[in-house]
Structure 1
Amino acid sequence: MPVSDQQVNAFAEKHAWQIPFDTGPRHLAGPGDARHVTHGLAAAGWKRASDPLSPEMVLASPDHRYRLSFVPTSGLSAWWQLRAEPTDTEPGWYAEFGELVPAEVLGGLADALVAPSVTGHIGPLDVLGSAGWLINARGVASSPDAACRVEQRAELHEDSLAFWHVEVRDPDRGRHSPRLWHARFDPRTPQHLVNAFVAALADPAPLQRGMYDRTAHHSVTKEPSPLRPEQVVEAHKTRLNMIRARARTARRQQSKPTTTPATSSTARPAARR
């Protein structure tokens, strides 16, 4: 399901009249435009697997292993759900994201899913520490405004594995205030995907929002952006082109046959002089 000209034009029409405001911090910027996620996956070859006339959307990867569900009518706290089916060599896993997760942050994870990059042995706390977040002695990372916390948690039963949990709460009312949004990663979620999510979350660059766009909290900072509306649209188109190219490269690398040097059982040692 490549992104059609009509779909790109619909995105452009929405943003062409909307004066962009630089909005931050990211965890309070609000959901933004879900097409940052859905257009990106479509550009990588994902296809819609749900009723086109339904407000709910399900996208499936070309190999049918991954499914992303967006259910804006859900009464649950998680509007986005990402599932990976198990394979012969890899386990299945699950991740969920709350209603107010910024689409650009979720898009960072989606980009890493369609075109994985090597992140070495660093973990999410390393990523957040490098971004200037505070890491306490219990291994909990907090944003500079203390509204967002990232940590590993475990279920109550003893044999449970630790999972990564992101939680954003009202910065005016502290840790025991109502939750604004959350993200939860199954213990088997590949670490490079969690890294990609928290890297996009902690990126100090502001997100672009319209004047009346919904945000997660009133304390969010909004300033007129130096970007013009047409530049926001062009940035979206450029990102889609990059995703297409990266996805093609990743598919070519995966399809290359594994070869080993041929050996001959009749090979003889070189003759001595």
Structure 2
Amino acid sequence: MLLVPLSERQLAAFADKHATQIPYDTSPRHLAGPGDARHVTHGLAAAGWNAVSDPLSAEIILASPDLRHRLQFDPQSRTSAWWRLRAEPVGTELGWYAEFGEHVPAEVLAGLTDALVAQAPAEPTSPLAVLDAAGWLIDGRGIAYSDHPSCKVERLPENGAGTVPWREQVRVAWHIEVRDLPTDIGSRGAHLWHAAFHSHTPEHLVTAFVTALADPAPLQRGMFDRTATYGVTQKPSPLTPEQTVHAHATRVKALRARARPTRRQQKNPVTAPAHASTAQPAARR
């Protein structure tokens, strides 16, 4: 394993990029585009995760200190899933798998990874309860729709039935889909990105993801950053570039401190099996 702690040089590189960008408040969040992947990778590195991928490759693979969790970011993926998160089974804890599409905002995914390196809450809140409190519409089938009607969060039945194309390969408990607004009456908008969580994914992690997704606060994007669609609302942010960089550094520092108790408990690394027991379907558009 290549031990690569988060360095001052890496933080400086993040600062250099964002210091030259004028931030624009971009909303809704689910259409803000991918943003900077270092919101995710820097947070995990600060929590003790290590790089296990080729440092000269575009693909990034990070492994947790106990080797149980692994996150893969592949911007050259031939599927619609650019991020894949896997947990190996250990003891009585079952393995699980989650994946996220190209345009998932890094800040939203970071809501999940931040929760992954922290202690699980004693009284977790259900994802639908979070969305209901945020004002999302929840129908009788357990599907939640955002105010901007292009994002839906669906809890699939226990038998695995649902609208996920690869549900025959792996049982999915939660599925999130973001589409562009339709151009014609009666048509469906173009697929923008998705998130899918295997049925054994700890529910507090799904809750953390949808909490970040439903947060009404806009995300900051540079003038020429990619967004998921042209249908976003953007206006100059009251935040300065220096404030954006400072917020990132403060969060990384807090994650490093929060993860220390968890790392102390992870004394025995997990021995990964030759073949992962949790299915990793090749997502299709």
Give me the TM-score of the superposition, normalised by structure 1: 0.89
**Structure 1 175/46 Cα, relative in aligned 2: closer, same or farther at 3 Å?**
farther
Q: CA deviation at 1:254?
A: 6.5
RMSD: 1.9
Calculate percent identity across the aligned residue pairs.
63
User: Which of 39, 43, 49 in structure 1 is aligned with 2:42?
Assistant: 39
Conservation of the 8 A alpha-carbon contact between 2:124 and 2:204: no
User: Which of 160, 163, 169 in structure 1 is aligned with 2:179?
Assistant: 169
Q: Deviations over 1:20-54 (max 9, x none)?
A: 00111100000000000000000000000010000
Q: Which residue is 2:16 aligned to?
A: 13
Distance 1:241 1:186 in 2: 31
Conservation of the 8 A alpha-carbon contact between 1:41 and 1:110: yes
Runs of 5+ consecutive residues of structure 1 not aligned to the other structure: 256-273
Q: Which residue is 2:228 aligned to?
A: 216
Q: Which residue is 1:187 aligned to?
A: 199
Would you say how many aligned residue pairs link Structure 1 and Structure 2? 255
Distance 1:136 1:77 in 2: 27
Conservation of the 8 A alpha-carbon contact between 1:169 and 1:175: no
Q: Deviations over 1:81-102 (max 9, x none)?
A: 0000000110000000000000
Give me the TM-score of the superposition, normalised by structure 2: 0.85
Distance 2:39 2:115 in 1: 14
**Structure 1 84/227 Cα, relative in aligned 2: closer, same or farther at 3 Å?**
same
When Rg is computed on C-alpha atoms for both structures, the one with the higher figure is: 1
Q: Choose between structure 1 and 2 for higher RCO, CA contacts under 8 A separated by at least 6 residues.
A: 2
Q: Deviations over 1:44-94 (max 9, x none)?
A: 000000100000010000000000000000110000000000001100000
Distance 1:47 1:34 in 2: 16
SS in 1 for 2:66: coil
Conservation of the 8 A alpha-carbon contact between 2:30 and 2:105: yes
Matches within 5 A, 1:23-62: 23-62=26-65
Matches within 5 A, 1:42-191: 42-118=45-121, 120=123, 122-153=125-156, 154-155=160-161, 161-173=171-183, 176-191=188-203
Conservation of the 8 A alpha-carbon contact between 2:172 and 2:196: no
Distance 1:91 1:17 in 2: 45
Conservation of the 8 A alpha-carbon contact between 1:164 and 1:187: yes
Distance 1:171 1:119 in 2: 39
Distance 2:117 2:6 in 1: 15
Distance 1:77 1:240 in 2: 29
Distance 1:68 1:162 in 2: 18
Conservation of the 8 A alpha-carbon contact between 2:101 and 2:193: yes
